[in-house]
Amino acid sequence: MCTHTHIHTHTHTHTQCPLLKLKQKTVFSCPASSSAGVLVQKVKVDPEVVSYPGQTVILCCQFPDKGQTHLTQVSWILENSSATRTNIAVFHPTLGVSYPASPVQGRVSFTKEPPPLEHPTIQITDIALTDEGNYVCEYTTYPTGNENGVTALVILAKPQNTASTITVPAGTSPVSVAQCVSANGRPPATLTWVTNLSGNGTGLVQTSNSDNTVTVRSEYLFTPTAADNGKEITCVVSHRTLTKAENFPMKLVVQYPPQVQIVGYDNNWYVGRTDVVLTCQYQGNPSPPTVNWKMSSGCMPDSVEMAQNKLTVRKVDDSVNTTFICEVTNSLGIGKDQVTVFVRGVLVQKVKVDPEVVSYPGQTVILCCQFPDKGQTQLTQVSWILENSSATRTNIAVFHPTLGVSYPASPVQGRVNFTIEPPPLEHPTIQITDIALTDEGNYVCEYTTHPTGNENGVTALVILAKPQNTASTITVPAGTSPVSVAQCVLANGRPPATLTWVTNLSGNGTGLVQTSNSDNTVTVRIEYLFTPTAADNGKEITCVVSHRTLAKAENFPMKLVVQYPPQVQIVGYDNNWYVGRTDVVLTCQYQGNPSPPTVNWKMSSGFMPDSVEMAQNKLTVRKVDDSVNTTFICEVTNSLGIGKDQVTVFVRVGRRETSTNSPPASSTVKQVFIILAVLLLVIPGVVAFICWRRTGGRCGENVITEGRPDCKRKRKDQTEPDVTYSTVTHVNTAGAARVQINAGDKTEYASVITN
């Protein structure tokens, strides 16, 4: 009775092809036949192999179920894009291996020499782009004739992608405003444009390069206006070497002559007023290099100072009673604006006062008055009079040299007094404490004189209140009529502010609407009227606020909020879906406002099959078959409506430009069961063999020589260790058998007794 068994094994590694399996039950990566019409072929190959320049590729081939067919010769043939066929590797069981002259000669070889006729796998080293093509594994058989399988070898080259805008002048005809180039790639890249502009991308222009790569170019045609300068456009590049599409955002560069506007004139220039400012606002591209101020009446007087786009009059007099002109020049032309100033005359008066005093609520103001050159004039009395906006005159302070000081009932009574009591008659200065907005008005210092009568001087007391400035866009739907899309409000200010709009839009600002408040402040409102389209969503507009309390104008930039139904485009279909291809993706790109809350995929042929997965805006087909030979529809919905796009898919019978099919994961499990079955069959024979050896087995013609060092010199093993066996393939005269077991990339051999 035997107490143990002994199986002698040895291992070695070899190049593993997806199609090399145990012959007893072969599972291939080629898809089974289907209604799509895929032919069941006897020669099994990978439909596609993908590689990069410089790599080594393995091209597998197998004739697994030959039955009664006799395989007489196998050839590998390279079929290029022009259908020229060139033999690159040949094997005949008797005549041996041959590598005819070909583009891959010296780099192609069978992975085993001589190769097994049933699986003559080849490898090609140092792959070049010019090696791309169809590689045909063709058997010469009897009696059925030739049989073959075709592997598409795809050589990828990652392109260099660039995008740039093209500087153009504003015009009336479409021109190229942006370009996108994907250079030296293989296969050709796909270029698309994403923008709110109303132009069109040109068709893709492909240029074949000498190294077998392709350069793809696309341009964007558009009729540019000054308002389009700075608008955004994006080129999207998709390519098989990229894990995701690359985006190249740009901003248009549109050149146009300057657009000019003078602001700052408040129609209140009077003799003696100081430090009034005009500002020349402009836009233009290229940026205007020169700003030039002119006067219609001739040369600028000494009281005028100019610094870039600002003109300051230090003291107003009759010399600035004219028209000011601002000219702005760039390389495309001249833009200009003008404003006519009217200087209110002030008579030469004997009474000297400050023409204007500026204050803020809560402060104390000093109002000066003087009669410096009285000569023979007799000053008999002086009075201060408040003249409000309705021209009502109210005495607020009186001085008579004999009768003394008096402060009659008035809005400032209790807060007004002469700075000196009694005051000098020649300069009766007063002060008013705790100034309020209602104190604003003209304060008249009036003398009673003899013999000329009354003489006076007027001081304008200006009370300033800094406004609260706000600006906001108004959410509107896209439409065909002008509506208010933005508003600018200056609340509770004094005096009224000046509001202007700065934008490239083609609308118009409404006139200023002023509202007087109970506290004597003013609220100013302005709106911008415009006919909005979907393309205008996000465009910029700025409200510019000028006010006497501000050291410089305040800008309030905003972006329009235009609502519109979704605009939808499906991308990702490459017209190369074939039976068995895996993980193909369609993407539903959309734009809309408000942001679309729902994306819905449909099929024109009915319900989605199990092979289709949907996640938000992406649809993935895990494995292509006839069930997706249909039209896919993407519907995107927001509160304004539904947008949709569709793409019709054609499922091909053949394969090209696709991903390599991997062997099914279940094949490993099947191999394990096969191995177990073989072991159960051969263990009894092994036991019998060991028992025979222990009872006197010897070297000789009728014994197993495997594992017997003393017999190796007498008899050489008749098996070849580099040959793959999937069943018992050799039995010597002693009834010994040799079995090979494949596991992963290892090969196990065992010598056993089978009788």
All structural domains of the chain with their residue ranges: 44-155, 160-252, 256-344, 352-463, 468-560, 564-652, 666-753
Overall fold of domain 44-155: Immunoglobulin-like (2.60.40)
How far is residue 59 CA from its own chain's centroid? 40
CA-wise closest residue to 726 among 675, 662, 664: 675
Q: Which two tokens stand for residue 208?
A: 């074949």
pLDDT at residue 700 in the model: 46
| 602-604-606-610 Cα dihedral, nearest 10 degrees | -60
Contacts of 669 (CB under 8 A, 6+ apart): none
Q: Answer yes or no: same fold for 160-252 and 352-463.
A: yes
* pLDDT category of residue 346 using cuts at 50, 70 and 90: low
In the predicted model, is pLDDT for residue 29 greater than 50? no
Q: How far apart are CA 558 and CA 470, in angstroms?
A: 11
Q: What value does the mean pLDDT take over residues 183-199?
A: 92
pLDDT at residue 8 in the model: 35
Percent of the chain predicted with pLDDT > 90: 59
In the predicted model, is pLDDT for residue 654 greater than 70? no
Q: How far apart are CA 303 and CA 275, in angstroms?
A: 10
| 16-19-20-25 Cα dihedral, nearest 10 degrees | 150
For residue 37, what are the CA distances in angstroms to 32, 64, 447, 626? 10, 22, 115, 10
In the predicted model, is pLDDT for residue 24 greater than 80? no
pLDDT at residue 736 in the model: 47
CA-wise closest residue to 349 among 423, 274, 272: 272
CA-wise closest residue to 172 among 250, 114, 256: 256
Write down the H helix ranges in 397-456: none
pLDDT in tens, 660-699: 444 444 444 455 456 666 667 767 666 666 654 555 554 4
Domain formed by 160-252, architecture: Sandwich (2.60)
In the predicted model, is pLDDT for residue 170 greater than 70? yes
Q: Comparing 159-173, 442-456, 504-518, 534-548, which segment has the lowest mean pLDDT?
A: 504-518
In the predicted model, is pLDDT for residue 189 greater than 90? yes
Domain formed by 564-652, architecture: Sandwich (2.60)
Helix (H) or strand (E) segment spanning residue 675: helix 666-694
Asked if 379 and 426 count as a contact pair (C-beta separation under 8 A), the reply is yes
Q: Is 672 exposed, middle or buried (0-12, 13-18, 19+ CB in 10 A)?
A: exposed
Q: Domain 468-560 class? A: mainly beta
3-state secondary structure 346-382: CCCCCCEECCEEEECCCCCEEECEECCCCCCCEEEEE
pLDDT in tens, 192-244: 999 999 888 887 899 999 988 999 999 999 999 998 999 999 999 999 999 99
Q: Is 52 exposed, middle or buried (0-12, 13-18, 19+ CB in 10 A)?
A: middle
Percent of the chain predicted with pLDDT > 70: 81
* pLDDT category of residue 747 using cuts at 50, 70 and 90: low
Q: Comparing 31-40, 88-97, 234-243, which segment has the lowest mean pLDDT?
A: 31-40
Q: How far apart are CA 238 and CA 204, in angstroms?
A: 13
Q: Comparing 506-510, 578-582, 716-720, which segment has the lowest mean pLDDT?
A: 716-720
In the predicted model, is pLDDT for residue 22 greater than 50? no
Give the chain's mean pLDDT.
Answer: 83
Q: What is the CATH number of domain 352-463?
A: 2.60.40.10
pLDDT at residue 693 in the model: 55
Helix (H) or strand (E) segment spanning residue 559: strand 554-559
Asked if 671 and 594 count as a contact pair (C-beta separation under 8 A), the reply is no
Question: Which residue matches tokens 């201060």?
Answer: 384
pLDDT in tens, 396-445: 999 999 999 999 999 999 999 999 999 999 999 999 999 999 898 999 99
How far is residue 165 CA from its own chain's centroid? 15
Q: What residues pair up with 277 in beta bridges, in sequence order?
A: 312
Instruction: Give the three-class secondary structure for 502.
Output: strand
CA-wise closest residue to 738 among 50, 155, 723: 723
Asked if 91 and 73 count as a contact pair (C-beta separation under 8 A), the reply is yes
Q: What value does the mean pLDDT take over residues 564-572?
A: 93
Overall fold of domain 256-344: Immunoglobulin-like (2.60.40)
